[in-house]
Amino acid sequence: MSRKILLDKIGIAGIETFPVYRSNGGYASVEKALKMQPADIVEEVKKSGLRGRGGAGFPTGLKWSFIDKKSGRPRYLVCNADESEPGTFKDRFLMEKLPHLVLEGMITASIALEANLSFIYVRGEFRWIIKILEKAIVEAKEAGFLGRNILGTGYNLEIVVQTGAGAYICGEETALIESLEGKRGNPRIKPPFPAVSGLYGNPTVVSNVESIAAVPWIVNNGGAEYAKIGVPKSSGTKLISACGNINNPGVYEIELGLPVKDFLFAPEWCGGMKNGKRLKAVVAGGSSVPILPAGLFLKTANGEDRLMSYESLADGGFATGTMLGSGGFIVYDEDQCIVRNTWNFTRFYHHESCGQCSPCREGTGWMERILHNIENGHGKMSDIDLLWDVQKKIEGNTICPLGDAAAWPVAAAIRHFRDEFEWHIKEPKECMVRNFGIAEPAIV
């Protein structure tokens, strides 16, 4: 279960340069795509079962098929490289190590969408990556894979590297589009969806870096081949960025369906818990997804082994399950305080809320202040229920998913670690002691 299709060439010296990338089979998908009907490319991506790797897991091919081609207005592809979800650092890795793979994917996707101007929106903090991408664009242009009359086919495409400037919310596709138009990153009210009215009011597809990087392989080998990798409904490979109290933090490409136990403990991947500590909890897909205590993480409520797949991680719904999300894998050992972590995440969402709609603008701050009180020994028992009620009133009631993303971690922390919250309130002086709350027997 260690098949690699994104990072297979990562070890080759100089793979970040055009000549090396090209001589190792790079840009073949562009050549192939230019000979295909655009609709057939979209069909292959549909067949592959590839699901959006940014976190929502919406089928990529289906999203592409919604783009309005009838109106004749210009179409845009926007590659979402605003990676900001706590726990997630995979797109950065891809762009840094394999900039040409990202470009190749963008060119191929642009051909499929019949776009002549495409953007890659990179979070502003990644300044060195912006340079890497700009250099790669120059190289690809010189080689005739970008610009006017690509490979003599008459197809024109420009790719622009756009910089963000520090706003998690711009990872939301309509906020990203607003930002790309030079505005505040306020998410738009949908419908209309970007496929009909996106950038400059024109049909637009926004796809995550990792989704786009999977396109060359799909076009080269066919969607059906891709669908054979992984498990049904969770086809292909996924980059997981692993961090927290583990021995080998880093970015790993796994075949979907890998048992989480293997991923967490095998030396090939996370390599087990750092300093021999016991596993307490895991956030499997970036800070927004529900945290699970060790026992529920390793096995579903039915006692089955949990797998790294969209379905298995979600097994049991939010009551006992979580989500694969963006693949930001955060591991907590027995010394970590769930209340402190929840407060920290809530502060993050409070800081990143755009402030447009009232539940998120006011609710995230309110939750942060309640959590801050509890964490610092000033909480009341009724605060726990209040917190639960506040998150519930945010969830589902906001313009964009940031409200949900802020509510879920709070809900899950209370759901699975309520005793730890109560302990903070009952023993205010001992709050700072960080060895409480092993929810499950130790597993090493």
Judged by CB under 8 A, the chain residues 356 through 375 that form the site for other proteins are: 356-359, 361-366, 369
**Residue 241 binds other proteins, judged by CB under 8 A:** yes
Q: Pick from 59, 124, 222, 316: which binds other proteins (CB under 8 A)?
A: 124
Span of 142-150, 205-213, 350-358, 420-428 interacting with other proteins by CB under 8 A: 350-358
**Residue 220 binds other proteins, judged by CB under 8 A:** no
Span of 15-23, 221-229, 238-246, 258-266 interacting with other proteins by CB under 8 A: 238-246
Q: Are β-strands 291-293 and 279-283 bridged in parallel, bridged antiparallel, or unpaired?
A: antiparallel
Angle at 36 between CA 34 and CA 40, to 5 degrees: 130
The length of the chain in residues reads 444
**Residue 182 binds other proteins, judged by CB under 8 A:** yes
Nearer to other proteins, 89 or 408 (CB): 89
State the Cα–Cα distance between residues 239 and 7, nearest whole angstrom. 9
Tokens 């900001």: give the residue. 84
Joined together, the tokens standing for residue 14 give 């100089």
**Residue 189 binds other proteins, judged by CB under 8 A:** yes
Determine contact, residues 270/250, Cβ cutoff 8 Å.
no
**Residue 95 binds other proteins, judged by CB under 8 A:** no
Joined together, the tokens standing for residue 263 give 């991923």
Span of 143-151, 245-253, 257-265, 418-426 interacting with other proteins by CB under 8 A: 245-253
Q: Pick from 64, 217, 263, 348: which binds other proteins (CB under 8 A)?
A: 348
**Residue 27 binds other proteins, judged by CB under 8 A:** no
Nearer to other proteins, 57 or 249 (CB): 249
H or E, element range at 348: helix 338-352
Q: Pick from 149, 355, 418, 432: which binds other proteins (CB under 8 A)?
A: 355
Q: Which residues pair with 254 in a beta bridge?
A: 238
**Residue 198 binds other proteins, judged by CB under 8 A:** no
Footprint of other proteins on residues 296-335 (CB under 8 A)?
328, 330, 332
Phi, psi values for residue 157, rounded to 5°: -155, 130
**Residue 158 binds other proteins, judged by CB under 8 A:** yes
CB of 86 to other proteins, least distance (A): 4
State the Cα–Cα distance between residues 70 and 288, nearest whole angstrom. 37
Q: Pick from 230, 244, 379, 437: which binds other proteins (CB under 8 A)?
A: 244
Q: Pick from 64, 217, 345, 408: which binds other proteins (CB under 8 A)?
A: 345
Q: Which residues pair with 269 in a beta bridge?
A: none
**Residue 66 binds other proteins, judged by CB under 8 A:** no
Encode 216-239: b = buried (16+ Cβ within 10 Å), e = exposed: bbbbbbebeebbebbbeebbbbbb
**Residue 53 binds other proteins, judged by CB under 8 A:** no
Nearest CA to 214 out of 8, 442, 428 is that of: 8
Q: If you write DSSP's letter for every residue of 79-125 in order, what string do you get?
A: EEE---STT--HHHHHHHH-HHHHHHHHHHHHHHHT-SEEEEEE-TT
Joined together, the tokens standing for residue 236 give 């292909």
**Residue 285 binds other proteins, judged by CB under 8 A:** no
Tokens 């910089």: give the residue. 163
Task: Compose the 385-404 pattern: x for residues touching other proteins by CB under 8 A, - for all others.
Answer: -x--x---x--xxxx-----
**Residue 259 binds other proteins, judged by CB under 8 A:** no
**Residue 251 binds other proteins, judged by CB under 8 A:** yes
**Residue 46 binds other proteins, judged by CB under 8 A:** no
Determine contact, residues 203/68, Cβ cutoff 8 Å.
yes
Q: Pick from 20, 36, 62, 117: which binds other proteins (CB under 8 A)?
A: 117
Q: Pick from 4, 148, 351, 426: which binds other proteins (CB under 8 A)?
A: 351
**Would the CA dihedral through 173, 155, 96, 222 be positive or negative?**
positive
**Would the CA dihedral through 222, 224, 225, 226 be positive or negative?**
positive
Q: Pick from 21, 27, 64, 126: which binds other proteins (CB under 8 A)?
A: 126
State the Cα–Cα distance between residues 303 and 259, nearest whole angstrom. 13
Q: Are β-strands 204-208 and 158-163 bridged in parallel, bridged antiparallel, or unpaired?
A: unpaired
Tokens 């969209």: give the residue. 310
**Residue 68 binds other proteins, judged by CB under 8 A:** no
Span of 59-67, 159-167, 300-308, 414-422 interacting with other proteins by CB under 8 A: 159-167
User: Reduced to 3 states, what is the DSSP secondary structure of residue 263?
Assistant: helix
Q: Pick from 138, 165, 433, 442: which binds other proteins (CB under 8 A)?
A: 165
Q: Pick from 227, 354, 412, 413: which binds other proteins (CB under 8 A)?
A: 354
**Residue 242 binds other proteins, judged by CB under 8 A:** yes
Determine contact, residues 19/94, Cβ cutoff 8 Å.
no
H or E, element range at 332: strand 328-333
Nearer to other proteins, 117 or 151 (CB): 117
Q: Pick from 138, 160, 224, 442: which binds other proteins (CB under 8 A)?
A: 160
**Residue 341 binds other proteins, judged by CB under 8 A:** yes
**Residue 84 binds other proteins, judged by CB under 8 A:** yes
Determine contact, residues 296/307, Cβ cutoff 8 Å.
no
